[in-house]
Amino acid sequence: MYPTKKHITKSTIQASSPMARYLSSSSSSSALLPISSSITLTSSLPPTTSASASQRGGKTSYIWNHGKKIVHDGKDRWECDHCGCSYIISSSATTNQRVHLNDVHHIPDPKAPVDTKQSTLDNYQRSPIRLHILRRLIVQWIVERRHSFSETESEALHKIFEYLDPRSTSALMSARTISRDITKYFETAKTSIKERLSFARSRIHISYDLWTSPNYKAMIGIVAHWTAENYEVKSALLAIREVPEEDSGENIANVVYRVKKEYNIHSRFGYCYKRVVYVSNCH
């Protein structure tokens, strides 16, 4: 006995299948097909993606998750899915594409090496770090905030610098180096002030103030005042020194005179006055 046959219409077949295309070109009469409990026809064509396996050229780089291969002027190029920028595809490197994704779209390479200090081509794509400027800024921070010189040896601070840019950790010096840098920058500033004082159009006037430090030492701050070559009034702190023994007039005069000699202004000295701070006792 012949098996029962079922009438299959075109609507039950996916439009993208070869069978559907055959039916659309045939006559309007129905085709007779052997029947089973259910018939499923699916397309044999691969789905369209942003970068197919053939487009990737066998590559497994993460850049193909964010772009596709195009041909422009006869050359294979990688086109970014996020902004449309394109780069020539190299058979040996994807640096330009990775730098683009990282710098423009903040999408880093998930397979980047753990040791980010390793010298790679990516590092040369970043803006250079001027270590001498960074070292000076660190010294200014320590002096301004009165931190311990050993602050730069903190493991936590090193982790912060390494997270921001591994190259910047080279500017974190030891406590001894910090001490030497502070002395060096002080001497540089001192030389600059000496030069400015040498061009003064007026005599150099001195003011000073006395106070007692938390560890009970008599301290004196010495400030210079003068008229600059552009006729502007200038002031600069020359020194903060300890007054030996008691803060008598003779001891103060000796300290002030030594500072004037250091800055070579003892022969151009004008007036000297003590800064007085009045404190009200009214309640």
Residues 99-140: tens digit of each pLDDT = 888 888 888 888 775 544 555 555 556 677 888 889 999 999
Q: What percent of the chain has pLDDT over 90?
A: 36
Among candidates 172, 250, 237, which has minimal Cα distance to 209? 237
SS3 168: helix
Q: In whole numbers, what is the pLDDT of the chain averaged over residues?
A: 77
How confident is the model at residue 202, as a pLDDT? 96
Three-class DSSP category at 140:
helix
Q: Are strands 204-212 and 269-274 parallel, antiparallel or unpaired?
A: parallel
Does pLDDT of 201 surpass 90?
A: yes
Q: Which residue has the higher pLDDT, 277 or 176?
A: 176
Residue carrying the six token digits 């590092």: 123
Can you tell me whether residue 269 is helix, strand or coil? strand
The number of beta carbons lying within 10 Å of the beta carbon of residue 138 is 21
How far is residue 231's CA from residue 199's CA, in Å, rounded to a whole number? 11
Give strand pairing partners of 7. Answer: 32
Q: Which of 34-48, 70-84, 206-220 has the lowest mean pLDDT?
A: 34-48
Burial 50-78 (b: 16+ CB within 10 A, else e): ebeeebbeebeebbbebbbbeeeeeeebb
Report residue 76's pLDDT band, with 50, 70 and 90 as the boundaries. confident
pLDDT at 60: 75
Given a contact cutoff of 8 angstroms between Cβ atoms, the answer to whether 107 and 101 are in contact is yes
The stretch 201-215 carries a mean pLDDT of: 93
pLDDT tens-place string over residues 10-57 = 444 444 444 444 444 444 444 444 444 444 444 444 444 444 444 444
> Which residues make beta-bridge pairs with 221?
209, 240
Of the candidates 112, 130, 129, the one whose C-alpha atom is nearest the C-alpha of residue 121 is 112
Per-position DSSP letters for 174-224, written without gaps between them: -HHHHHHHHHHHHHHHHHHHHHHHHT-SSPEEEEEEEEE-TTS-EEEEEEE
For residues 68 and 51, the answer to whether their CB atoms sit within 8 Å is yes
pLDDT of residue 121: 53
Whether residue 228 is predicted with pLDDT greater than 90 in this model: the reply is yes
Q: Which two tokens stand for residue 271?
A: 């007036």
Mean of pLDDT values over 278-283: 37
Residue 257 has pLDDT above 50, yes or no: yes
Q: Which of 74-88, 101-115, 156-170 has the lowest mean pLDDT?
A: 101-115
In the structure, what pLDDT confidence band is assigned to residue 95 with cuts at 50, 70 and 90? confident
Q: What is the mean pLDDT of residues 238-264?
A: 91
